[in-house]
Structure 1
Amino acid sequence: MVVSEELNKTVKVREGEELDAKQIDTILKDRISGLVGTPVIRQFASGHSNLTYSIQYNDRNLVLRRPPFGTRPKSGHSMIREYRVMNAIKPAFPAVPHTYFHMTDEESPLGAEFYVMEQVEGRKLERDIPADWHFGAEEGRKLCLSFFNRLIDLHKVDFKAIGLDDFGKPEGYVERQILGWNSRYERAVTDDVESFEDVRKWLVEKMPSGEVGHSILHGDYRLDNVILCENNPFEIKAILDWEISALGDPLMDLGNTLAYWSQDGDPEELINMRMQPCNAPGMLRREEICELYEKATGYDLKGFAYYHVYGVFRLAVILQQIYYRYYHGQTKNPAFAAFGKRTNLLGNYARSLIEKSDI
């Protein structure tokens, strides 16, 4: 058996998060034909809020996704949500893994709901493009165009035609997001971070009067959240992490993506925080990306500064929520110690974007 570790960055399952291999084998072979041998179970190193396992058989690798162990909010960590959107969207949008089945809390022998999908083999990027790819500006631009064209393709999917018209309430999405993230920040403020009341007030007062349209939103679209074809890195084989997907204004999705996107001229501290190779030679600047998006969709992006500020502040809130737990001793992970400073950095960056905007 070839244990797929190099490309998919799997590690030994973390203590307290183990799965029973015999139990998993029985569940999978009852529902998926052609599985041979005994599975090797490993865990993906870059875990998100939900737990992701690699289930490796002789000639086929699968992925199992489940919520974290322990007490969790009833409305949080929904497996059926991401299973449903991937299952529905696959015929119209091939860049998602094939899903096999989902089990609810009530029927699951694991004590929690879960679903199983194919493990898409390929390359997952991190902060930098691998040196052995020998990418120059031309290749970097081609990769960047492929990445953003897939987001455009997603936003063009007719969600009603594929049965996702009841996936959420798209109307009023902008207002719900702004008020929701403002409220989350208020609850997570610590003594060593600013309140950024001015930023929150601006987001409310300058809220667009209407929405450009409604689309399927990924919610966390980044270069390090896609699987690239090993033999053709310009081909996106699969987009991962659909857990916060929704229906809403697509400019909010683009705003979130470009909040992660850094480029020359940005504060050096922000560039150092990057999680993806967005500053590699040939990568488009945010202005060019907006032009590409506007031309492809027909949406008016003259007021896009608002959505960029929203994306930056949303990212600040996410970091601050993590830092709040560290500040109050709810987690000891030393990696979170600097998150308060990053919150202030992002909040101040949002202020600078507001000052430069003509909104």
Structure 2
Amino acid sequence: MGFYKFLLSRVVTFLLVVFIGITTVFFVPRFLPSDPVEAMIGQMTSKSAFMDPKAVATLRETLNQSFGLEGSAFEQYLGFFKRVVITHDFGPSLANYPAPVNELIGRALPWTMGLLLTSTLISWVIGNAIGLLAGFRKNKMYSKALEAISIALYPIPYYIFALVLIMLFAYVLPIFPLSANFQGHGFTWPHIKSLIINSTLPALSMILVGTGWWVISMKTLSAGIAEEDYVHFARLKGLKESKIMSKYVLPNAALPQVTMLALQIGTIFNGALVTEILFGYPGVGTLIYSGILQADYNLIMGTITISIIAVAGATFIVDLLYPFLDPRVRYK
């Protein structure tokens, strides 16, 4: 009975978060000063010597219908919510008309997931391994040095690292390309090689910063757990330090890190906005940037809605799995 009450509360929370998020995503772009339909009509009329006013009015009405901008804000909201929930359709992109937003997201999402998922997992593994060692042996010189390096790395924005890496390895030492240029298709060596070459710098910029955060957080957790009574008791029993670290400290320190990892995996659907722009990476971040610049309501709402659902879904899954990861937690 306790599990079903817990599940119901988490489902309600999940639905509420998604509802509030989608509602916010719908209304925020409408506070922008630009009107996408008027901008599109302006571009079309600028390329034509003359357009009849009636034809312009008809075009405006057609575009408003196509993009779901007809009627009051509340009517537009109901139509948008119905499309998203029932048909999962975000409509056509205003900036890339008549390409559907779903199609654009479908093309960009694998690039972002490949880049951010890989860099997030690498930084999580490396950062937690270093943080565990630094926290468990906190009085060692190398532990203090690792902590100092991590504290220095963590506050630096990842796009600053990206700019530094571009200057070093695209200008001073031109090892990597300045902008992404993928070659070939499928599982062919030219395509795989171009993926590795073009993804190294953007991934490295995020791994360095991400590793710093994981080292700091894991060191704090493991240093506190290393002082617990059951750890002292394990030493009195004569257990090896390596076994104490792996069997006593690691399982307890890793639990909050697993939660944070799940939340970060949810946020990768946002894309690394600045990094993707700097490196010309064809991911979701570049798509969001393009949508904001061109006041593409449908594209903005589509990309950010996917992110909201991903983060809420990741939190929901972690809540359900946490009792399996930590036997001290029970469904109540």
User: Whose helix fraction is larger, Structure 1's or Structure 2's?
Assistant: 2
The answer to whether the superposition gives a TM-score over 0.5 is no
Into which bin does the TM-score normalised by the smaller protein fall?
Answer: under 0.3
Please give the TM-score of this superposition, normalised by the length of structure 2.
Answer: 0.24
Q: Report which of the two has the higher share of strand.
A: 1
Higher Rg:
2
Higher RCO, 1 vs 2 (CA within 8 Å, ≥6 residues apart): 2
